[in-house]
């Protein structure tokens, strides 16, 4: 089902300021078509997004455009030059900057920040004088100037990516091709990255083609293409894409939740449980009828706190994928052991401390997780999340403090603790060269299950994780989503009461992610499994019952997702989205007018306001005096990402203030 806008841009006359034109592009790896007939048209000055899960074909397409990958069919035109040979690619390479995928992979770990920049600049024959100027400006802008002499390998993930961006743009290319620059980078660094990119592009009139696996970043692009399995499912401006799957999101509470979900699933394809909330996508476009149809499909269960919103782009993508025929595999949870103990504490951390050398990675962390609760641990890279999990798991001994897991003290319990917990680590950690069944049997054997138990658990895992038909496939050949469910199954083979999940869904497509969370909430609700989850996807944090935000090894905020949003709303106000005709200028004016938290979000400006009507008026006057036309100002609900960024920024500012005080 190709949307009409795609065809239009491909068949229509080439725009005079077209930078990239790709048509009927096909790239095969042996027989497998990674990209299968893609059209793309990128115009001067825009940030064009390629969005899609791992394996959608984004990287292949970008490499071909950058001239470092051959392709099988179709044409690729860059700056009007047909890139079909190495020689043709050489002609456009000087005008392109390419940042390949992978955190810091294009940089030299043992060189310092400055040496890396110098190397790339000299490679591109940038005159020394200009280099000095550009370097100074870029380093200041990215706040890396303090780290000039630090070796690249000692930078944090977000800093590495910023350095990568500098090295890509140091020769001031007309076109920047950035392959998943924000993957694995925490939300604060991500926002910063986007702000820098937007500023640079505007200042130099550059064009950028950027890919991302984070669906919630889609709204940051001027135009975008949504890729899935090598094909374009949708393309256009965010607003145009939104129109492709018209509908509304209805959010409410309903008890009993599981019955409500069962009833809703008969009529709606997108039903999500977010903690105590339910979120349903309906194709109705009128608020009243949307609410009405939900209420009627729930029967005798009455929804409370009903709320209707415009869908997010991620919801639209899921709707498009579902329309494509990708059916969400129904989760059939086989009958399980009834929940015996409720409200019992499953995990308790009391003042956990961990040093690495003199560095305090975890600083007096305390929290509690009850049975059947999903507890989310959020934080930037290096905030100490994984260290906390490893200590509670018994992999890493704490320097100080206590931890109780499933009723045992982790320091004294030794091996006993390990029989009561399940763990799914950051990287996929099953054997790729074993089949699905062999993996499950291996872990059944490790946990000491006998033959009969192994058989029962194997059947349970296969049906729980929707692995039917995959039993004898090699794990390495499975799609990411299926792999993650298998990993979950293996972590559950011995029916642990406590489950640790360390960034379980990196790289999984949105449908796979929703399916995964479906399973998690059922495990919590039906079997009373307690879960401790860390995630970078802020949209996923909404699924948790309780959240804790970590910063520099400490827990700095805690509460349910709703609580956390309300707290920020009380402290800093509501989120205003401002649409203008000159976003760059508008942002500068807004910042000068005192809206310090203002940030560019695609073509729109986001800012927090304690008093929306008054601030709107103030902003409109400030902008119109500069001739900026304000098209629209909307109050949008805060996302958890906004909460996260707000909290961390406040802390960073405090930290800087204390550093300055100490210096003075």
Q: Which stretches of the chain bind other proteins, using CB under 8 A?
A: 393-397, 415, 418-419, 421, 423, 425-434, 438, 441-448, 474, 490, 500
Smallest distance from the beta carbon of 429 to other proteins, in angstroms? 4
Task: Give the Cα separation of 490 and 628 in Å (integer).
Answer: 57
For other proteins, the closer CB: 427 or 662: 427
For other proteins, the closer CB: 64 or 490: 490
Task: Give the Cα separation of 355 and 373 in Å (integer).
Answer: 29
Smallest distance from the beta carbon of 26 to other proteins, in angstroms? 29
Smallest distance from the beta carbon of 444 to other proteins, in angstroms? 8
At 83 the three-state DSSP class reads coil
For other proteins, the closer CB: 180 or 502: 502
Task: Return the bridge partners of 211, or none.
Answer: 50
Q: Which token pair is 159?
A: 């800093």
Smallest distance from the beta carbon of 182 to other proteins, in angstroms? 22
Smallest distance from the beta carbon of 446 to other proteins, in angstroms? 5
Q: Residue 21: which of 76, 82, 67 has the closest Cα?
A: 76
Smallest distance from the beta carbon of 474 to other proteins, in angstroms? 8
Q: Which sign does the torsion angle of CA 12, 52, 634, 206 carry? A: negative
For other proteins, the closer CB: 338 or 448: 448
At 384 the three-state DSSP class reads coil
For other proteins, the closer CB: 82 or 446: 446
Task: Give the Cα separation of 322 and 320 in Å (integer).
Answer: 5
Task: Return the bridge partners of 411, or none.
Answer: none
Smallest distance from the beta carbon of 496 to other proteins, in angstroms? 10
Q: Which residues contact 184 (CB under 8 A, 6 or more apart)?
A: 103, 157, 381, 506, 536
φ, ψ at 115 (rounded to 5°): -65, -35
Smallest distance from the beta carbon of 459 to other proteins, in angstroms? 19
For other proteins, the closer CB: 226 or 443: 443
Peptide bond just before 40 cis, omega within 30 deg: no
**313-323 vs 510-527: helix axis angle to the nearest 10?**
100
For other proteins, the closer CB: 433 or 632: 433
For other proteins, the closer CB: 103 or 538: 103
For other proteins, the closer CB: 445 or 637: 445
Task: Give the Cα separation of 394 and 306 in Å (integer).
Answer: 43
Q: Residue 307: which of 247, 253, 243 has the closest Cα?
A: 253
For other proteins, the closer CB: 435 or 539: 435
Q: Which sign does the torsion angle of CA 147, 149, 155, 161 carry? A: positive
Task: Return the bridge partners of 367, or none.
Answer: 349
With 0-12 CB in 10 A as exposed, 13-18 as middle and 19+ as buried, what is 124? middle
Q: Which sign does the torsion angle of CA 512, 515, 521, 524 carry? A: negative
Q: Which sign does the torsion angle of CA 448, 453, 457, 459 carry? A: positive
For other proteins, the closer CB: 444 or 572: 444
In 541-623, at which residue ranges do the beta strands (DSSP E only) sit? Answer: 546-551, 554-559, 574-580, 599-601, 604-609
Q: Residue 40: which of 171, 177, 159 has the closest Cα?
A: 177
Smallest distance from the beta carbon of 138 to other proteins, in angstroms? 32
At 249 the three-state DSSP class reads strand
For other proteins, the closer CB: 482 or 557: 482
User: What radius of gyration, in Å, describes the C-alpha atoms of the chain?
Assistant: 25
Smallest distance from the beta carbon of 442 to other proteins, in angstroms? 5
For other proteins, the closer CB: 11 or 427: 427
Smallest distance from the beta carbon of 54 to other proteins, in angstroms? 17
Task: Return the bridge partners of 422, or none.
Answer: 499
Q: What is the DSSP letter of 226?
A: E
Helix %, strand %, coil % of the chain (to 5): 40, 25, 35
Smallest distance from the beta carbon of 418 to other proteins, in angstroms? 4
Task: Give the Cα separation of 141 and 196 in Å (integer).
Answer: 7
Q: Which residues contact 550 (CB under 8 A, 6 or more apart)?
A: 365, 377, 378, 379, 383, 384, 385, 388, 556
For other proteins, the closer CB: 397 or 594: 397
Q: Which H or E run includes 462? A: helix 451-464
């Amino acid at each position: 089902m190709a949307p009409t806008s795609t065809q239009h841009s491909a068949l229509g006359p080439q725009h005079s300021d077209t930078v990239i034109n790709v048509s009927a592009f096909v790239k095969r790896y042996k027989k497998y078509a990674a990209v299968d007939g893609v059209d793309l048209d990128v115009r001067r000055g825009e940030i064009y997004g390629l969005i899609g899960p791992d394996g959608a074909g984004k990287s292949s397409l970008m490499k071909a455009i950058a001239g470092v990958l051959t392709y099988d069919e179709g044409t690729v035109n860059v700056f009007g030059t047909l890139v079909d040979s190495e020689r043709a690619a050489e002609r456009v390479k000087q005008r392109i900057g390419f940042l390949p995928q992978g955190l810091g992979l294009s940089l030299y770990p043992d060189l310092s920040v400055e040496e890396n920049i110098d190397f790339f600049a000299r490679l591109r024959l940038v005159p020394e004088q200009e280099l000095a100027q550009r370097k100074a400006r870029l380093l200041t802008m990215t706040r890396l100037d303090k780290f000039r002499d630090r070796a690249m390998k000692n930078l944090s993930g977000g800093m590495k990516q910023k350095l990568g961006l500098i090295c890509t743009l140091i020769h001031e290319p007309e076109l920047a091709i950035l392959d998943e620059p924000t993957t694995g980078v925490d939300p604060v660094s991500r926002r910063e990255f986007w702000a820098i990119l937007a500023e640079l592009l505007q200042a130099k009139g550059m064009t950028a083609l950027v890919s991302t696996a984070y669906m919630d970043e889609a709204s940051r692009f001027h135009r975008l293409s949504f890729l899935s399995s090598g094909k374009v499912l949708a393309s256009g401006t965010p607003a145009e894409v939104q129109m492709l799957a018209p509908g509304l999101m209805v959010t409410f509470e309903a008890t009993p939740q599981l019955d409500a979900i069962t009833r809703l699933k008969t009529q709606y394809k997108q039903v999500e449980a977010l903690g105590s909330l339910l979120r349903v996508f309906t194709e109705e476009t009128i608020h009243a009828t949307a609410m009405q149809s939900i209420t009627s499909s729930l029967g005798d269960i009455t929804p409370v706190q009903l709320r209707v919103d415009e869908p997010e782009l991620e919801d639209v993508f899921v709707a498009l994928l579902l329309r494509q025929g990708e059916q969400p595999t129904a989760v059939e949870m086989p009958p399980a052991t009834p929940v015996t103990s409720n409200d019992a504490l499953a995990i308790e951390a009391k003042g956990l401390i961990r040093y690495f050398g003199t560095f305090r990675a975890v600083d007096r962390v305390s929290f509690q997780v009850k049975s059947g609760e999903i507890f989310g641990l959020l934080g930037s890279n290096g905030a100490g999340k994984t260290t906390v999990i490893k200590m509670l798991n018994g992999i890493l001994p704490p320097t100080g403090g206590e931890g109780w897991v499933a009723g045992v003290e982790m320091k004294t319990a030794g091996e006993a603790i390990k029989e009561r917990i399940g763990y799914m680590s950051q990287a996929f950690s099953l054997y790729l060269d074993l089949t699905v069944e062999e993996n499950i049997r291996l872990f059944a054997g490790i946990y000491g299950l006998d033959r009969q138990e192994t058989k029962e658990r194997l059947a349970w895992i296969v049906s729980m994780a929707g692995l039917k038909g995959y039993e004898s496939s090699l794990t390495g050949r499975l799609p990411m989503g299926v792999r993650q469910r298998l990993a979950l199954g293996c972590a559950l083979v011995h029916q642990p009461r406590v489950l640790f999940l360390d960034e379980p869904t990196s790289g999984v497509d949105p449908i796979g992610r929703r399916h995964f969370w479906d399973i998690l909430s059922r495990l919590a609700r039906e079997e009373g499994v307690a879960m401790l989850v860390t995630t970078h996807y802020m949209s996923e944090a909404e699924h948790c019952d309780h959240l804790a935000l970590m910063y520099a090894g400490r827990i700095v905020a805690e509460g349910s997702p709703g609580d956390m949003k309300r707290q920020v709303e009380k402290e800093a106000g509501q989120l205003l989205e401002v649409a203008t005709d000159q976003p760059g200028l508008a942002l500068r004016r807004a910042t000068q007018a005192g809206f310090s938290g203002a940030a560019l979000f695609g073509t729109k400006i986001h800012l927090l306001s304690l008093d929306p009507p008054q601030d709107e008026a103030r902003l409109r006057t400030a902008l119109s005096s500069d001739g900026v036309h304000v098209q629209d100002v909307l109050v949008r609900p805060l996302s958890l990402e906004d909460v996260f960024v707000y909290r961390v920024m406040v802390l960073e500012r405090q930290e800087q203030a204390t550093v300055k005080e100490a210096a003075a």
